[in-house]
Structure 1
Amino acid sequence: MSAATAAAPVNAEQTGRRVEEVLERLAASGDPAAAAAAEELVRSLMDFYGAGLARILHLLSSAPGEPAAPLLGDELVASLLVLHDLHPEDRDTRIARALGSVREHALDAVEFDEKSGTLTLRAGEAAGGCGCGSDSGAGAREAAEAALACFAPEVRAVDVQTAPKGPTLLQIGTAPTGAR
């Protein structure tokens, strides 16, 4: 594998959708044997790569220090580990890691509804921001959804609530001359 091939960006979510589309096309082709063979091929490859990933994690966990730490922060590697149910971090830790990767939006996890897969987030002040809620729109939700797709795919929907506005600033000063 060349360095250029190894560095090619891969989006796990798009790849998963592509695999599903191909399997659906084969199923719709009317050849049940071909569709079954394709599904068996995908399962076999998943098992093979899952076993390889498990071995890598095992070998890394026996090494001194924290050699797996950079891997857990990588979106592609994290999504593969989650896909194979091998990610060593729990869901809440992975959610925090995902939200930490979108620092331009100040988002805090409020609640996760396991039944619906909905994560409720609170949008606060962005780093250096004014707290006026400008970060709480679709941009924050889209950034969170993209990061969560890699680190915590069990989150199927994101609800962003704006942080309550603080009290109105009341200026107290001297009255203009003649206003008394």
Structure 2
Amino acid sequence: MSARATTAEAAAPRTGVPEAAAPSAASAAVPNAEATGRRVEEVLDRLAQRDDREASAAAEELVRVLMDFYGAGLARIMHLMGSATGDDGPRPALLRDELVTSLLVLHDLHPEDTATRIGRALDSVRRQHPAEIAEFDADTGTLRLRAADSGGCGCPSTSQQAQQAVEAAVSCFAPEVTSMGWEAAGERAEPALLQISRRPPTAATAS
């Protein structure tokens, strides 16, 4: 199935509301699924008319990738909401989930600040790869971590694997962290580049 067909199916209205019905003031401010689907189709059509098959194929692939990403996120949200237990409801499970967190941060909707999300990232890998925050500069997005004593052998390969696991977790929970450095006890290391990306325009940062 092509990205066009998938987009059209995903954007098709399922509410049973007649097309002639005038939208309310509240709904007018919210993106409309049908209108959005039509805009995507128009863009794909314009690319197809340029007779550039490579560009057209790339655009359709982009649509598929984005739809897969958001579809997986919505599915995860529904699963966590349906399986929530406890007095706090689904909120704790949603905020601990990497995929849900990445979606919320991407759209500047996450209720927690950067420092809190960094803490969640470290908690998610602490059992296998314990680490702690040495310093975080919210203005530059620079994070320095200190490896905690796990009682392991401390061999270079194990240490490298642990650092990679921690960096991957941080990139999911706090993508506004643009560089990361490691330091041993009593030492200070220059930060090594972790990733370069556009920070969320108004992403929450630690106070």
Where on the TM-score scale, by shorter chain, does this alignment land: which range?
0.5 to 0.7
Specify the alignment match of 1:113 in structure 2. Answer: 137
1:70-105 per-residue CA deviation (whole Å, 9 max, x = no partner) reads: 111111111111111111111111000001111112
Specify the alignment match of 2:118 in structure 1. Answer: 95
Letter in 1 for 2:111: P
State the 1:68 CA deviation: 1.3
Contact persistence 1:133–1:162 (CA under 8 A): no
Counterpart mapping for 1:1-180 below 5 A: 65-103=88-126, 104-126=128-150, 129=151, 134=155, 137-164=159-186
Listed as ranges, the gaps of 5+ residues in structure 2 are 1-46, 82-86, 188-207
How far apart, CA to CA, are the structure 1 residues paired with 2:162 and 2:97?
20
Higher mean C-alpha displacement, 141-150 vs 111-120: 111-120
How far apart, CA to CA, are the structure 1 residues paired with 2:154 and 2:137?
24
Letter in 2 for 1:153: P
How far apart, CA to CA, are the structure 2 residues paired with 1:137 and 1:76?
26
Contact persistence 1:75–1:150 (CA under 8 A): yes
State the 1:145 CA deviation: 1.2
How far apart, CA to CA, are the structure 1 residues paired with 2:52 and 2:138?
37
**What is the TM-score with the length of structure 1 in the denominator?**
0.52
Q: Could you say if the C-alpha distance between residues 134 and 107 of structure 1 is closer, same or farther in structure 2, counting changes exceeding 3 Å?
A: farther
Specify the alignment match of 1:21 in structure 2. Answer: none
State the 1:137 CA deviation: 3.3
How far apart, CA to CA, are the structure 2 residues paired with 1:111 and 1:161?
10
How far apart, CA to CA, are the structure 1 residues paired with 2:92 and 2:181?
29
Letter in 2 for 1:150: C
Listed as ranges, the gaps of 5+ residues in structure 1 are 1-25, 166-180
* Number of residue pairs aligned between Structure 1 and Structure 2: 130
1:109-130 per-residue CA deviation (whole Å, 9 max, x = no partner) reads: 111123432210011211xx16
**What is the TM-score with the length of structure 2 in the denominator?**
0.46
Fraction of identical pairs, as percent: 49
Letter in 2 for 1:125: D
Radius of gyration: which is bigger? 1
Residue aligned with 2:125, SS = coil
